[in-house]
Structure 1
């Protein structure tokens, strides 16, 4: 598997399409250094048949197909009832939405012998995915008037490969507010409602 040993900088730009006979799509796309083109996509439209679940999907010629599903929140999948699969193989996800300390609120992801920690400091701060020797930090770039949102600017350090990048990039289209203290406090009523609706299903 190809890796990048030096620091890699890249930018994904937001886009949205509204085809006539298909669901509208929105997300990010761009080139990630020598790894090439990548697209992270979700449908901003609420679909009643999905039982309140939403999906973000990453694809690119060099990347494993990566799918993140979670309860819909703010027009995106969230970390509640979440599932992450890479090339059809499920990753293990765990996080504590009620934790007060930043380290305890981080999202832990285990996949094929790799252990990742994903943390979000708060609004305007980097979103960071780390495993031993590898770090990918994503930040929101400068908002361009008339664009579909702000670009996502990434810096990857260490022997980064397509799996690391796929995990970090698919999370750019996921509502990860619950990992911030403010978000954890704001989403606690949401978590409580989820618990009641889960019981009702």
Structure 2
């Protein structure tokens, strides 16, 4: 296990993530979420929203923060985000194993299963991503839409229960910038035409 094992107490931890976007003349634009996660401190997830032909249809979301392992999720581009297709997840350079069934109709079967070192996680998304949940034995991290600030900003509210640590939080938070719609029943129903839709989406962008 990596060195990032700072844990909370048995009480729940609440936090808020704010979406952001940055445009600069001499750099690629960046979008993502950022916030303070209790005593774990600041966290930031960033990705580039532009389609870049040299990336071969892949996109990357990168999480960083002083108390967190550097966490990188890379997957096939969908809706401007990395998706669960051809996906890779690393924490401080260590690979996690990812498994899910894109065509399953039961929520339990559609869930994303993540194995990282000696940990086994189950990640699932309620319909249209209203609530995203990461579970391992004794620990749960859930993130859902939070307060709305007009005209367009909707924060995301997170809650962690059990002896959660920086690894748990890093995985749950980086997945907020990943297209996980395929884990919902609606997404599963649309999985068959995904390749064709992806082809035209990428060309359009």
State TM-score, norm by structure 1: 0.93
Count of aligned positions? 194
Say whether residues 1:170 and 2:167 are aligned partners: no
1:193 CA drift (Å): 6.8
Q: How does 1:72-111 map to 2 (within 5 A)?
A: 72-111=77-116
What is the rounded CA distance, in whole Å, between the counterparts of 1:17 and 1:146 in structure 2? 18
Quote the Cα distance in structure 2 between the aligned partners of 1:62 and 1:97. Answer: 33
Q: CA RMSD in A?
A: 1.5
Write out the 4+ residue segments of structure 1 that deviate beyond 4 Å after TM superposition.
191-195
Q: Give the Cα separation in 2 of the matches to 1:75 and 1:20.
A: 20
Note the residue ranges of structure 1 that are not aligned, 5 or more in a row.
Answer: 196-201
- What SS does structure 2 have at the residue aligned with 1:64? coil
CA gap of 1:154–1:24, structure 2 versus 1, over 3 A, is same
Q: Give distance in 1, aligned partners of 2:129 and 2:121.
A: 22
TM-score by length of 2: 0.91
Unaligned stretches of 5+ residues in structure 2: 200-205
CA distance in 2, matches of 1:92, 1:192: 27
- The alpha-carbon deviation at position 152 of structure 1 amounts to 1.3
- The match for 1:129 among 127, 134, 138 is 134
**Distance across 2 between alignment mates of 1:142 and 1:18:** 25
* 2:180 is equivalent to residue 181 of structure 1: no
